[in-house]
Amino acid sequence: MLSNLAVRDIETLVHPYTNLATHRQNGPLVLESGKGVYVYDSAGKEYIEGMAGLWCTALGYSNQELIETAYEQMKKLPFTHIFGGRSHDPAIELAEKLKEIAPVPISKVFYGASGSDANDTQVKIVWYMNNALGRPQKKKIISRLKGYHGVTVASASLTGLPNNHIDFDLPLPGIMHTSCPHHYRFAEPGESEQDYSSRLAAELEEMILREGPDTVAAFIAEPVMGAGGAITPPEGYFEKINAVLAKYDILFISDEVITGFGRTGKMFGTETYGMNADTISLAKQITSAYFPLSAVMMNEKVYEVLVDQSRKIGTFGHGNTYAGHPVGCAVAVKTLEIYQREKIVDHVNKVAPAFLRRLDKLAEHPLVGEARGVGLIGGAELVKDKQTKASFEAKNGVAAKAVAYALEEGFITRAMGDRLAFCPPLVISEAEIEEMFNRCERALDKTLNWAKAEGLLAA
């Protein structure tokens, strides 16, 4: 029997990334409150939020400093824009702080409201920049299969997941996808991580040469692939990719929407993996998700082109109403202050061994073929046969069943194909990590029993 809230939801909302037909039967999970790493549903049941919402609530729930900061800024200046040369102190201070902590030399910051619009901005800047430089043919952008970069028309084109393209008439022309760097799933038998990385770099170079280096403008990558399965790169991968991009004068865009601000054990995943980025997309943990805000950080080379072209045209004709929103910027400034004061990166490195130990242990489970992560992010792949790595048929919905059992156990995770993601708030304690994985293991045991009863496992 669905609750009144559930019925009201079904009759009024269209939910993102949801089977809308199934949702009409099952209804929503309605969450009402949160504290620290825990959230509570409308019946009062407790869950460990193992996904930090959507990879974003780094400081957990009900952080009073962030709440009070938003309140105080709303009292002082609830809104103004930064069009036409207007500005305000929170936007300026945040940009200063971002430049200070950036993992590569950064000249300027451009604000938006979401990770999707940040990556949409990246595409527009690439096209705009090459027109300004008299290279109108140098427009193609290479992304990766299973990469995730958003849902606007341009950013969804960058995303390398089929469901973001099917029947949306995407991807746009000129946006291509090279191989997914997932060693467990796509390496040749006996191929080392270094050799696999070399092969992927060679494939990228072959694509560039096939298309023509004078037509390829940029390459975009997440340090750790998020919605594609929480996939960490193989050894040597970005070192080899850096060399290819430099060889052919191709801009490197680092998508730090998920990995930025401590998630990988350094302030930025770009630093963790030595990515020679020219521009960086930020969102999510920039405000611990307490206010929608994104940013594109760009180096001086990119910024100088924007200035020269603005001098020629008379304006930089891009931006949205909420760019540099004073409340969002004030919350972000406070968030960065807390990260630094509380030494959040040190905390991640302190608890990461417990997180990674328990994640690695999941690989011993009969359903888990691979479990791997970095810092406080990781993924586990469910397989029907551990020896052959054979996957379940998509119609079986095994990972989705595991997510449902996890909810029964009071643990929120996310299914991405046959993979389960782990991305708890950065403030999680070792004791909470242990409890999170205890709940996960119980859910996997239930999933195993169900899969056996359904005859889904290899004989």
Same-domain pairing of 187 and 296 = yes
- Could you tell me how far CA 145 lies from the centroid of its own chain? 15
Written as six digits, the tokens of 359 are 């994640």
Cα gap 311→313, rounded to integer Å: 6
Same-domain pairing of 112 and 208 = yes
pLDDT of residue 76: 98
Same-domain pairing of 263 and 347 = no
Same-domain pairing of 353 and 331 = no
Q: Which domain holds residue 238?
A: 66-341
The amino acid at residue 141 is I
Same-domain pairing of 30 and 157 = no
Count: domains in the chain: 2
pLDDT of residue 429: 98
Where a domain ends, among 320, 341, 362? 341
179 CB-contact burial (10 Å; exposed 0-12 / middle 13-18 / buried 19+): middle
Q: Is 159:119 a contact under the CB 8 Å cutoff?
A: no
Same-domain pairing of 336 and 362 = no
Same-domain pairing of 105 and 230 = yes
Written as six digits, the tokens of 68 are 């009070």
Where a domain ends, among 323, 341, 359? 341
Same-domain pairing of 16 and 102 = no
Where a domain ends, among 341, 360, 375? 341
pLDDT of residue 300: 97
Same-domain pairing of 215 and 336 = yes
Cα gap 132→312, rounded to integer Å: 9
Supply the CATH number for residue 211's domain.
3.40.640.10
Tell whether 291 is covered by a domain.
Answer: yes
Same-domain pairing of 29 and 122 = no
Rg over CA atoms, the chain: 22
Same-domain pairing of 324 and 437 = no
Same-domain pairing of 32 and 83 = no
To 10 degrees, what angle do helices 89-101 and 326-341 make? Answer: 40
Q: Is 234:196 a contact under the CB 8 Å cutoff?
A: yes
Which residue shows structure tokens 């119609």?
Answer: 395
Question: Taking CA 115 as the corner, what is the angle to CA 110 and CA 116, rounded to the nearest 5 degrees?
Answer: 105
- Spell out where 256-410 has E strands: 279-282, 294-298, 368-374, 377-382
Supply the CATH number for residue 351's domain.
3.90.1150.10
pLDDT of residue 226: 97
Q: Is 218:251 a contact under the CB 8 Å cutoff?
A: yes
Residue segments in the chain with a per-residue pLDDT below the cut of 50:
none
- What tens digit of pLDDT does each residue of 158-205 get? 999 999 999 999 999 999 999 999 999 999 999 999 999 999 999 999
Cα gap 362→437, rounded to integer Å: 9
Tell whether 274 is covered by a domain.
Answer: yes
Cis amide bond preceding 233, omega within 30: no
- Spell out where 346-423 has E strands: 368-374, 377-382, 411-412, 414-416, 419-422
3-state SS assignment for residue 331: helix
pLDDT of residue 186: 98
